[in-house]
Amino acid sequence: MGKGEVFRSSPPDSAPQGPYGVQALDLGGARGVGPVRLVPVAEVLTVREVAEVLKVSTATVYAMVERGELEHFRVSNSIRVRRASVVALTERGL
């Protein structure tokens, strides 16, 4: 997958269209999760990438996640952070 490409599953044709031509999926069902917006892959960072951007260690990033200071989501056991969350963190100040 190249830079700027979007991971897509096969959403139903009736799924609402979001930014970047990405469709939102309602994966809630009985779990009550609600609509999920797919994000362009280039907009998602790993813990290591966040650490590089913020010039801190990965342990610091994990601690920020644990304290709730950094908005994140999980893909299996891996933590992922939207680029916009890192920008918002820097605007608020570390």
31-69 per-position pLDDT tens digit: 555 666 666 767 899 999 999 999 999 999 999 999 999
CATH architecture observed for domain 41-92:
Orthogonal Bundle (1.10)
Higher pLDDT, 8 or 93: 93
Q: Please check whether residue 51 is in contact with residue 58, taking contact to mean a CB–CB distance below 8 angstroms.
A: yes
| Burial category of 62 from C-beta neighbours within 10 Å (exposed 0-12, middle 13-18, buried 19 and up) | middle
pLDDT for 38: 65
Q: What is the mean pLDDT of residues 62-84?
A: 94
Tell me the pLDDT band of 22, cut-offs 50, 70 and 90: very low
Whole-model pTM? 0.59
